[in-house]
Amino acid sequence: MGKPTGFMEYVREIASEVSPRDRIHNWDEFHLPMEEVKLRNQGARCMDCGTPFCHTGNLVGGMASGCPINNLIPEFNDLVYRGLWKEALDRLHKTNNFPEFTGRVCPAPCEGSCVLGINNPPVTIKNIEYSIIDKGWQEGWITPEPPTTRTGKKVAVIGSGPAGLSAAAQLNKAGHWVTVYERADRPGGLLMYGIPNMKLDKEEVVLRRLNVLEAEGVTFVCNTEIGKDLPVETLLKDYDSVILCTGATKPRDLPIPNRDLKGIHFAMDFLTANTKAILDKTPGSDFISAQGKDVVIIGGGDTGTDCVGTSIRHGCRSLVQLEIMPKPPKERAANNPWPEWPKVYKMDYGQEEAEAVFGDDPRVYLTTSTQFEGDENGHVKAVHTVEVEWTKNEKGQFIPKPIPGTEKVRPAQLVLLAMGFLGPEEPLIKALNLEQDGRGNVKADYGQYETSLKGVFAAGDCRRGQSLVVWAFNEGRGVARACDLYLMGSTDLPA
């Protein structure tokens, strides 16, 4: 694929970005477009590798290896190299309903398993994908394509995040009438409120695609929580099938002394209120400001990074991000071989911005919080921490052990808990009397997706637990196929 000798002729180049010091003054996306000649050269780097691990979509070592939605990566790389952009877009849409989302927020496990990446920098797959879809929008190639016939079947999708949107898009293509229920005031779920605007623009990118889905026949009903605003009995009576795509929205808490102090918030509450303020053009009553505050973020993942970038844009006074795990190595460790996802040290956008403002990466590794300290008004004023080392307990399990003498008191008027999610919220699951697995997720086999209640399906994080956005897209497409098969006895939807 691409130019047979391209990987020997061209070095890896990625798109330029607005400098960290400049981009922190607004909420705009900061990736800059790349010249077409450079993009075609990057496509040329895709080698004729025989077995393209980039689109296998397997789990290796518990993490994604290759593209979970099986994007035909070598094929669209080759088409970009040849300047056949429209054909590249068609190839991309065969497996991916929303490349503009994955091209912006997916961590690109495809690049981690690129064969060229064994001993060279991998192909810039994510940037090529992003460029293909953006060119498609610019050229007007993406227009509503409503189905030519309708089956008369009605499907309710609960949740308008990544899994719900891909399920709705596919079922609508099959000719079913699809209604998507969303408890928030705008559709999009995680894509709308869980990811900051500078990573994924809401009005220019998310709403643009939602408008296409509506024009194709998908109905969105917002401000409606199933089981509260609309009884589950009504839903089961009015629809031929129901699909749960509610996500894993139960946050992991930190039960240490003085957790009830004011100024300690879950990260998603902070991020959601901020995005809503941007869209509404004014802060709401739930807005949480980091302006002028010492901010401590507990958790080192993507959500923590988003809290870093958001806090800096608010104008925080100082910022520390606590991570209980050790600092990753700069290169793959011996126990992290290709094609596993490379667990190596990198600076994400938020850390780059923190370095530009405060002079260093804000992450502090091998550190845990022991208690919060409050002032006379019941507001947090400090976080007590201690360094840890990972040792095995009597069961052979690795646990963090505090190191005496490493205690610190860190000033904080705002603490954001970004330690991941425990699973789906349970009221709807209980109302439907659905079976749950050992982790509290809705019990439904991967590939089948049907729950313990006939005609009710589950997909995405509410079924598999907290995971990547691209896995939610995978499951949304998969559950659409399973639901179509249930409704019609056969299906032509792709797996």
Task: Pick the last residue of a domain from 419, 439, 468.
Answer: 419
CATH no. for residue 442? 3.50.50.60
Task: Pick the last residue of a domain from 398, 419, 440.
Answer: 419
Residue 143 in domain = no
Q: What is the pLDDT of residues 419-442, one digit of tens each?
A: 999 999 999 999 999 999 999 999
Are 262 and 395 members of one domain?
A: yes
Under a CB-based contact definition with an 8 Å cutoff, are residues 83 and 40 in contact? yes
Are 329 and 406 members of one domain?
A: yes
Residue 365 in domain = yes
Instruction: For the sheet with 414-417, list strands across it.
Output: 264-266, 414-417, 294-298, 318-322, 363-364
Are 98 and 84 members of one domain?
A: yes
- When pLDDT is cut at 50, 70 and 90, the band that residue 154 belongs to is very high
Q: What is the pLDDT of residue 371?
A: 98
Tell me, what amino acid is at 141?
A: W
Are 21 and 48 members of one domain?
A: yes
Are 286 and 393 members of one domain?
A: yes
271 pLDDT higher than 70: yes
**Residues 116-144, mean pLDDT to the nearest whole number:** 97
Sheet strands (E) in 330-379:
363-364, 367-374
Are 433 and 414 members of one domain?
A: no
Residue 435 in domain = yes
Task: Pick the last residue of a domain from 419, 448, 474.
Answer: 419
In the chain, how many domains are there? Answer: 3
Are 61 and 166 members of one domain?
A: no
Are 215 and 98 members of one domain?
A: no
Q: What is the DSSP string of 7-73?
A: HHH-------B--HHHHTTS-S--BPP--HHHHHHHHHT----SS-GGG--EEETTEEES-TT---H
Give CA angle at 399 (394, 400), nearest 5°: 135
Distance CA 173, CA 167 (A): 10
Q: 186 — alpha (psi -120 to 50), left (phi > 0) or beta?
A: beta
Are 276 and 352 members of one domain?
A: yes
Query: Domain containing 29: what range?
Result: 6-138
Are 115 and 184 members of one domain?
A: no
Distance CA 291, CA 238 (A): 48
Q: What is the pLDDT of residues 346-403, one digit of tens each?
A: 999 999 999 999 999 999 999 999 999 999 999 999 999 999 999 999 988 999 999 9
Distance CA 227, CA 35 (A): 51
Q: What is the pLDDT of residues 4-31, one digit of tens each?
A: 899 999 999 999 999 999 999 999 999 9
Residue 148 in domain = no
- When pLDDT is cut at 50, 70 and 90, the band that residue 63 belongs to is confident
Are 164 and 122 members of one domain?
A: no
Residue 145 in domain = no
CB atoms < 10 A from the CB of 26, how many? Answer: 12
Closest by CA to 105, choosing from 161, 186, 167, is 161
Residue 149 in domain = no
Residues 6+ apart with CB under 8 A from 495: 477, 478, 481
Residue 225 in domain = yes
Are 237 and 376 members of one domain?
A: no
1 pLDDT higher than 70: no
